[in-house]
Structure 1
Amino acid sequence: MSDLSCSLDPKLCKLSYLPVYLLPVAMPFASLTLGDFSRSRWSQLDNLPNTQKNVVPVNISSNSFIRIAAFLCPLLWFEGFFLCSGNDGLLCPHETLTVISSTDYMQFCFQFQKQGKDLEKVKQRLVEIANYVDKFYRALNIRVALVGLEVWSDSDKCPITQDPFTTLHEFLDWRKVKLLPQKPHDNAQLISGVYFQGTTIGMAPIMSMCTAEQSGGIVMDHSDNPLGAAVTLAHELGHNFGMNHDTPERGCGCRMTVDRGGCIMTPSTGYPFPTVFSTCSKKDLAASLEKGVGMCLYNMPEVKVLYGGQKCGNGYVEEGEECDCGEPEECMNPCCNATTCTLKEDAVCAHGQCCEGCRLKPAGTLCRETSNSCDLPEFCTGASPHCPANVYLHDGHACHNVDGYCYNGICQTHEQQCITLWGAGAKPAPGICFERVNSAGDPYGNCGKDSKGSFAKCDASDAKCGKIQCQGGANRPVIGTNAVSIETNIPLQEGGRILCRGTHVYLGDDMPDPGLVLAGTKCGDNMVCLNRQCQNVSVFGVHECSGKCSGRGVCNNKKNCHCEAHWAPPFCETAGFGGSIDSGPMRAAGSVDNLIPIVTHLAGTQSSLYVSFLQSQFWINVWFGLKCNFPSATQLPFHPVIHYTVNSFYLKKKKKEGIDPPQKPLPADPLGRSSRLGHSAATGRSFTCESFDKFVHQPHHFQLSQHSLNSALLTRSV
């Protein structure tokens, strides 16, 4: 029977619906398991030896395996990727980034074929995977909390196949249409037991965190040890954050040698598994956050849904608690009594960006600066110790001197994408380049892929939403190491030629082509790219929303008015103190104007994003929360939050011999985790993701050598 039989034929699967609610309280070095909050496994991870026997795996019967999908089946939900910093009561590493901390609400989709399987062990395994991921991201000031698990008992909610591209597309589409409206979250990951084609063991879009269309990924549960899937999940999540592969050309610093696992974003995975991030990953994360990636990461998690009952010392301020700074031996907050979770004498607050010296900051105090031209500032309300949830300009607002439109808090333009691909000095090519090249429907000119997986030709009206065409910049693409530069000469009727520069970037099997124009990019006057089509910007409804602001404010992503300094929300009709019902007042009563006018923010003063404590929700139908205790000092930067969703399946599989640990290093992971764990043995050599990329994407009609992709330059005439 095929490994896919359970997924494809629901009659073969005897599944039960199990809404489970867990709260493995994540203490530092704590192993989050059902009802057992021991500290043993994290301490093992800290000093992980090179032998597998020292890491105790959860025993899942040999003929079953998990598939966790980010928008799929049974759901596991993480309610918390939160960025640690400030005095929010969570303990963060001493070495912190000057970027953001965030809580990512992750949702797992999980489908289980019940053939004598132990559901409790399955839940334990998923919790362990989530906790490993949390452990990895602590070093980046990011925390993860699992909050839910859902088992599909009848059939897959979206098609799951061995084609990773199709599976990722279907899963992300299902998440956007079905899952997001029901369960708000930041990101979703699918963990699957289905073996993907080739060497791929994971795939995720890059720089897609918080977007409705692409914030998620797919992961193959390739190891009996949950650490294996956790590393792959952390890797794919890294791509969502904007992290690229750690290739030799980048000169990344990794504090773990290769024989000790190396770093998480290495293109291939092997044994021992990597457990740390490189210097390149940290730089990539910082750069992405500065561009506005992760706008959803600033919101506090909903602690009421956390399973496991209330507990003083778990780092979450729950009902009846005034504060919670963790266990007494961990608490560094001078305002909170760790034993009773009550405020100390004379203290008014203990946590939050709007709490300083155990006192509330005045209303109108800036607590979160803008990160880019599409962001909006937030201010203390004077009534809460927490900075209001992050808000930004409504999709469709003009930005970058009216050359672009805001989309998910980022100003998307062809120019910026050309610079990302080709470096400084690059600019968009004339429109004729987009029209001629993207009408081909080949790897170098297309509007994505159709339902059959073939490259789709662009209609003339949609040409600027296909492959990006540029001029100028570096001699070869500056993103990725395996890229083909395509220079197309287009003759003009009046004589002469126009040189168009395109690219096909091989970032890896786990990442879609970054050479396609990004959603939300301006493709004409009052026109924007959505779903590879050039549509009227009215699709966002921004003009209708802004129309209710009386000409004295702008519309934010929650469809509320953000008023100028002297006008009051909600509609900027009467005198007031500016801001919105979401962001707090721009100035306190009786204060002198001390803020930059809104129009300046629209023009786009881009500043570093300092966030204090941000949490986003990881939705997963197994509710569980991870905790992190902050130091009391407000020295740490503020960090955004992520809502992360992961879907997982549990399916029948044949026992693989010699999988853990593998006989040889696992094949390389092409910008997505790539490996078949034992499938590569048949080739007689270690088949890396890069080599697989080169093999699969070989542009045969150009007669390129498999070994020439790193610096290939194609010149053609149209």
Structure 2
Amino acid sequence: MFHLKKINKEKSDYYFMSGFTWLMGYLMIKCEQQKYRMMKIQKLYLFNLLCCLSTCTGLRGLISLEHKVYILEPMEEGNTHRLYRGEHLKLTQGTCGHGHNISYPTQMTNTTGHKRDAQSSTKHVELIIVADNREYQKQGKDVEKVKQRLAEIANYVDKFYRSLNIRVALVGLEVWSDGDKCSITQDPFTSLHEFLDWRKLKLLPQRPHDNAQLISGVYFQGTTIGMAPIMSMCTAEQSGGIVMDHSDNPLGAAVTLAHELGHNFGMNHDTPERGCGCRATVDRGGCIMTPSTGYPFPTVFSTCSKKDLAASLEKGVGMCLFNMPEVKVLYGGQKCGNGYVEEGEQCDCGDVEECLNPCCNASTCTLKQEAVCAHGQCCEDCQLKPAGTPCRESSNSCDLPEFCTGADPHCPANVYLHDGNACQGVDGHCYNGICQTHEQQCITLWGQGAKPAPGICFERVNSAGDPYGNCGKDAKGSFAKCEARDAKCGKMQCQGGANRPVIGTNAVSIETNIPLQEGGRILCRGTHVYLGDDMPDPGLVLTGTKCGENMMCINRQCQNISVLGVHDCSAKCSGHGVCNNNMNCHCESLWAPPFCDKAGFGGSMDSGPMRPTDSSGVTVGILVAFLCLLGVGIIVCFKRKTLLSLFFSNKNSTIEKLRKTLRIFFFCKSKKIKPILRPFIFFDIETMIKHDDN
């Protein structure tokens, strides 16, 4: 045990711990009575340092030095704190509910000639964390204590993901103090689906966000301590997960939440057969996506996780993460140095020691002299890029490009085609910014050369209602038979490809020979992945896949795309544009928003204005045409007046007027404009001028 002594220095709160030098980092968390405090920590010249601390109700958090983890917590009485090794932390050993690996081909699919470098752009996950009633009771029925714990968890997760160029912004906390708002039981599979359904129907319409995670005080059955659907980030149906609060210290739940969030991003487990590279050895915790959790705590991601993330982003997963979060809804209030530009700030590049931005004063969060901007894809050399400059190109056939507005340093929020728009010619429909087709899913399951099986395969196999042919599970957890009209929304049936499924070592081939009336047989190839009952079946046809003419798989049913409103939206675009996910028209290059019925540069109200490919040439052409028309007009207006004044004016004024007329004539002649005046008139004029000069 030891005491902390507060030292006032440069208007910040410093804490000195006996036996420790200064650490580096910033943290601000919302404390009791809506007060805010800042932990300002200096630099420690050691490698492999991770520091994540909170100053609310004492100093608490994680200090990792040279792969050794220390936990810092306040004692119940006085200003006394305790610091202990991580192996002494009370921790429940557990595993992720996603029990096996699923690997996906890494090639980019459904992309256009222009590929967005999704890895280089900072992604922002707008996260809401919910605590169930059992967690509320576990924390002594103290709402503020629960909120503080959840905020600490979010802070850890944000620290973990920064190495992947991902920021996790906590935009909301909810504590179910009066009772659970959906059924949370010891069955993790049922609890996950209940929570995801509640999120879609209740939470998402009221509080827009990208992902929601439930922290539960319930002890799940078996060894499961967390569960989340894979490759589901940004979807309304499955962007979330559940986490058991299995440790006395919030760090345990934070590691599990980061793990489940990784599944949402498309990351798989770091199993031995994958040969993943990890900066931390197994005896030092390994990496975050290791299948089981224990001491030491993992705090880094493996090379496999980074590859999985890159493959998911290239496929269109995470389309909602390219916009900056609304700073007014960030939990914890504002503070210079947190990396977000908030009210009263001109810029924010983080801590003074971390800031590398040449346009921003890190200590004051103000722009440097002559700088107009400091952040964003539309800011270059501290100045705004011109309107129409591309700042985010389309990543696939369902994505739309964005352009700088000329007034904002940030690229407009990412927009994509409205659900139901055709893609890949007419072979697919867009859904959540991804072009879903049976063909691509067969390639994912079986590798190159695979293609969808004939319709009879889907009808026969999926009418069985067993693990190998079904339309998912019903409310009782039993496999549901597919109706004939919904057969192409059940288990995927393919032909060709590799000898066995390529999605993982735990996947097996399910082959069915179906006799044909005209003789012969047809081979149908499905897959079965041994995931238990705790993960959605990756062998099922994906939501949004085309299942007929103007038909799409929605909730395992083949429904008309008209239910999505795509036709009504596209009708207002005057035949010169398409409808985006905000129900606005994205116009072709020669038409202007909002309805593409007037001349313009294209784009939408959301994307920024498109710029013509050669605007300088167009401008010069318009200028030349204007000058020539002006010259012709002058000649027409003054033709007769000039000729008459030739005989009634004094000689000097006559010569001057003639010279002006000749200038107009030769200008138009050089531009190959046919003269209005007859040639003999100009001949007479030239003769008179020569005579006058003599």
The TM-score, its normalising length taken from structure 2, stands at 0.73
Structure 1 counterpart of 2:147, from 114, 120, 123 = 123
Report if aligned partners of 2:51, 2:64 keep a CA contact under 8 Å in 1.
Answer: no
Determine if the alignment matches structure 1 residue 502 to structure 2 residue 529: no
- Give 2:68's aligned residue: 48
2:285 to 246, 255, 261: 261
SS where residue 440 of structure 1 aligns? coil
Q: Distance in 1 between matches of 2:418 and 2:39?
A: 35
Contact 1:292 1:371 in 2 (8 A): yes
Paired residue for 2:679? none
Contact preservation (8 Å) 1:57, 1:226: no
Cα distance, 1:345 vs structure 2: 1.3
The equivalent residue for 1:341 is 365
Aligned to 1:660: none
Provide the rounded CA distance (Å) in 2 between the counterparts of 1:312 and 1:185.
24
Between the aligned partners of 2:272 and 2:617, the Cα distance in structure 1 is 51
In structure 1, what residue type is equivalent to 2:483? D
Per the alignment, in what secondary structure is the counterpart of residue 105 of structure 1?
A: strand
Identity within the alignment, %: 79
1:289 maps onto 2:289 in alignment: no
Residue among 121, 126, 151 paired with 1:105? 126
Paired residue for 1:395? 419
Q: Is the 8 A contact 1:19 1:149 kept in 2?
A: no
The separation in 1 between residues aligned to 2:611 and 2:317, in whole angstroms, is 28
Distance change in 2, residues 1:464/1:338 (3 Å): same
1:50, distance to aligned residue in structure 2 (A): 9.0
Structure 1 contact 133–231 (Cα < 8 Å) conserved? yes
Partner secondary structure for residue 549 of structure 1: coil
**Conserved 8 A contact 1:231-1:264:** yes
Cα 1:115–1:228 shift into 2, 3 Å: closer
Could you tell me how far apart the structure 2 residues matched to 1:380 and 1:27 are? Answer: 36
- Structure 2: distance between partners of 1:202 and 1:538: 37
**Given the alignment, which residue of 471, 496, 518 partners 2:495?**
471
Q: Which residue of 2 aligns with 1:301?
A: 325
Which whole-Å CA distance do the structure 2 matches of 1:589 and 1:115 have between them?
61
Distance in 1 between residues matched to 2:395 and 2:274, nearest whole Å: 26
Q: Which residue, 136, 160, 170 being the options, matches 2:160?
A: 136
**How far 1:325 moved relative to its partner?**
1.7
The residue aligned with 1:231 is 255
Q: What SS does structure 2 have at the residue aligned with 1:150?
A: strand
Q: Output one character per residue of 1:482-527: Cα deviation in whole Å (capped at 9) or x when no partner.
A: 1221111111111111111111112566531111111000011111
Counterpart-to-counterpart distance in 1, 2:32 and 2:480: 41
In the alignment, which residue of structure 2 is the partner of 1:580? 604
Q: Indicate the residue corresponding to 1:383 in structure 2.
A: 407
Calculate the aligned-residue CA RMSD, in Å. 3.0
* TM-fit CA distance, 1:593: 9.6
* Maintained 8 Å contact 1:22/1:307: no
1:448 is aligned to 2:472: yes
For 2:234 and 2:37, how far apart are their aligned partners in 1?
25
Matched, 1:332 2:353: no
Residues 473 and 480 in structure 2, CA contact (< 8 A), matched pair in contact too? yes
- Offset, 1:321: 1.6
Matched to 2:584, the amino acid is N
Checking the alignment, whether the CA contact within 8 Å between 1:219 and 1:232 is kept in structure 2 is yes
Contact 1:23 1:147 in 2 (8 A): no
1:183 positional shift: 0.4
Q: By how many angstroms is 1:409 displaced?
A: 0.2
Q: Is the 8 A contact 1:22 1:34 kept in 2?
A: no
What is the alpha-carbon distance in structure 1 between the residues aligned to residue 386 and residue 269 of structure 2?
44
Structure 1 runs (4+) deviating above 6 angstroms are: 18-28, 50-53, 56-60
**1:636-715 alignment, distance < 5 Å:** none
Residue 46 and residue 130 in structure 1: after superposition, are their counterparts in 2 closer, same or farther (change >3 A)?
farther
1:492-641 alignment runs, 5 A limit: 492-507=516-531, 510-587=534-611, 591=615
Specify the alignment match of 2:188 in structure 1. 164
1:585 maps to amino acid: P
SS at match of 1:44: strand
Q: List gaps (5 residues or longer) in structure 2.
A: 1-30, 42-49, 73-82, 93-116, 619-694
Q: Cα offset for 1:348?
A: 0.9
Structure 2 SS opposite 1:296: coil
Tell me the secondary structure at the aligned position of residue 401 of structure 1. Answer: coil
Work out whether 1:274 is the aligned partner of 2:298.
yes
- Provide the rounded CA distance (Å) in 2 between the counterparts of 1:119 and 1:235: 26
Q: Does 1:350 align with 2:370?
A: no
State the 1:138 CA deviation.
1.4
Q: Indicate yes or no: 2:267 matched with 1:243.
A: yes
Other structure's SS at 2:430 match: strand
The reply on whether 1:191 has 2:215 as its aligned counterpart is yes
Cα distance in 2 for partners of 1:402, 1:591 equals 34
CA drift of 1:110 comes to 1.1
Contact 2:71 2:86 in 1 (8 A): no
CA–CA distance in 1 between the matches of 2:543 and 2:39? Answer: 37
SS at 1:300 equivalent: coil
1:439 aligned to 2:463? yes
Amino acid of the residue matched to residue 185 of structure 1? H
**Higher Cα radius of gyration:** 2
Note the C-alpha offset of 1:34: 5.7
Checking the alignment, whether the CA contact within 8 Å between 1:102 and 1:298 is kept in structure 2 is yes
1:458–1:228: structure 2 CA closer, same or farther, 3 Å change rule?
Answer: same
Distance 1:232 1:242, change over 3 A: same
> Using the alignment, how far apart are the partners of 1:495 and 1:25 within structure 2?
78
- Aligned residue identity for 1:33: S
Local SS of the residue matching 1:185: coil
Alpha carbons 2:61, 2:71 under 8 Å: kept: no
TM-score, length of structure 1 as denominator length? 0.71
Q: Distance in 2 between matches of 1:593 and 1:24?
A: 57
Distance in 2 of aligned mates of 1:141 and 1:233: 18
Whether contact under 8 Å (1:405, 1:412) holds in the other structure is yes
CA, structure 1 residues 448+21, in 2 after alignment: closer, same or farther (shift >3 Å)? farther
Residue 232 of structure 1 and its aligned partner are, at CA, apart by 1.4
Larger displacement relative to structure 2 (50-59 or 280-289) = 50-59
Bigger relative contact order (CA 8 A; separation at least 6): 1
Letter in 2 for 1:472: G
Distance in 1, Cα, partners of 2:596 & 2:39? 44
Residue identity matched to 1:170: E
> How far apart, CA to CA, are the structure 1 residues paired with 2:325 and 2:441?
33
Deviation at 1:339, TM superposition (A): 2.5
| CA apart distance, 1:125 | 2.2
Rounded to whole Å, the distance in 1 between the matches of 2:33 and 2:471 is 42
Confirm or deny: 8 A CA contact 1:25 1:314 kept in the other structure.
Answer: no
Q: Provide the aligned length of Structure 1 versus Structure 2.
A: 544
The alpha-carbon distance between structure 1 residues 530 and 592, as it changes in their structure 2 partners (threshold 3 A), is farther
In structure 1, stretches of 5+ residues that fail to align are 1-17, 65-95, 595-718
Q: Distance in 2 between matches of 1:484 and 1:50?
A: 44
Q: CA offset at residue 48 of structure 1?
A: 3.4
- Given that 1:186 and 1:209 are in contact with CA atoms closer than 8 Å, whether structure 2 keeps it comes out as yes
- Asked whether the 8 Å contact 1:477–1:483 carries over to 2, the reply is yes
Cα shift readout 1:295-324 (whole Å, capped 9, x = no counterpart): 000111111223544422222212222112
- 1: CA distance, partners of 2:172 / 2:560: 38
More strand by share: 2
Are the counterparts in 1 of residues 468 and 510 from structure 2 also a CA contact under 8 Å? yes
SS at match of 2:429: strand
Structure 2 residue matching 1:54: 3-state secondary structure: strand
Give the residue type in structure 2 aligned to 1:338.
A
Aligned to 2:441: 417
Partner of 2:54: 33
- Pair 270,476 (structure 1): closer, same or farther in 2 beyond 3 Å: farther
CA distance in 2, matches of 1:145, 1:22: 20
**In structure 2, the residue corresponding to 1:249 is in which secondary structure?**
helix
Superposed CA offset, 1:70-107 (max 9, x none): xxxxxxxxxxxxxxxxxxxxxxxxxx994543111111
2:10 maps to what in 1?
none
The answer to whether the Cα contact below 8 Å between 1:335 and 1:347 also exists between their aligned partners in 2 is yes
Query: Which residue does the alignment assign to 2:230?
Result: 206
2:393 is aligned to 369
